[in-house]
Homo-oligomer: A and B are copies of this chain.
Amino acid sequence: MDMGGKPVVRRARRFDPKRRERILDAAIEVIAEHGVAGTTHRLIARAADVPLGSLTYHFTGLDELRALAFTRLAERLSRAYAAHFDGVRTLDDLVEAVTDMVHGNVGTDAREWAVSYELYLAALRDPALRTVTEEWMRTSRTVLERFVDPDTARGLDALIEGLVMHRMLSTAPFPRAVTRAAVARAVQPLPGTDAGRTPTHEPEGRP
C-alpha cells in the first residue's frame, strides 16, 4: 500500500560530458535575458537543465562562472566578426559590410551585442575581465586593419561600437543611408594629412 511518504523522485544520474560548456552557454543566455545583475546560480542551472549543485562543482563560484562565460562569448564574437569581413575586397565592400553589421544583417544577434555591453560594464569594475575585453577589442581592430591603417581602424572600431549601441537604444528608425554615410567618412582619407593613407587592399602576405 502507499505509505503516503514523499516519492523522493531523485532524477536518474546522467552521463553528461559537455555539461561544463552547456552551463557556460546557459549563463550567456541568462545574462542576455536578465543582465549580470539578475544572473543567479539557480537561473543558470534551470536554463542549462542541471541541478544547482552542479554549478558549484564545475566552477569555484559565480565570479569564475561569469568570467568564463564572458570569455567564451568573446571568442564566439571574435570568430563571427572575422568571418563577417571575409569576402571584403574593396573599401566599398568594407563600408557595406560594416553597415550590414550595424544593422544586424549578420549572424551576430542583437541579443549577443547586449551581452557584450554587459561584459564591458562588468570589466569596468572587475580587473579579471579586462583581459577579455582587451583581447576582444584587439581582435576586432586587427580585423579592420586588414583593410585600413591602424589609426583609421581605431576610429572605425569606435564608430561601430557607438552606432550599434545607439541603434539598439533608439526607438526611432535608424536609416541605413545615415549609417553608411558615417562609415564612409570614417574610412575616407583625411584631406591635408596622410592619416588616412590606406595600404591598398591586400589582405596580408609579405613580398
Contact = CB atoms under 8 A, between A and B. Distances in A.
A91 interface: no
Interface stretch (A12-20, A21-29, A79-87, A178-186): A178-186
Contacts of A133: 169
Interface residues of A, number: 49
A78 to B, nearest CB: 16
Given A117-B120, A188-B188, A181 B159 contact: no
Interface stretch (A47-55, A67-75, A160-168, A198-206): A160-168
A191 interface: yes
A99 to B, nearest CB: 12
B137 A168 contact: no
A174 B169 CA distance: 27
A104 interface: no
A191 to B, nearest CB: 7
Nearest to A123: B169
Contacts of A186: 159, 182, 185-186
* A114, A157, A182, A193 pick with most chain B CB within 10 angstroms: A182
28 contacts: A35-B37, A35-B121, A35-B122, A117-B120, A123-B169, A124-B169, A133-B169, A134-B170, A137-B166, A137-B169, A137-B170, A154-B178, A155-B179, A155-B181, A157-B162, A158-B159, A158-B163, A158-B166, A158-B182, A159-B162, A159-B186, A161-B166, A162-B163, A181-B193, A185-B186, A185-B188, A186-B186, A188-B190
The 10 closest A-B pairs by CB, nearest first: A155-B182, A162-B162, A158-B162, A37-B37, A161-B162, A158-B163, A181-B195, A159-B159, A158-B166, A151-B178
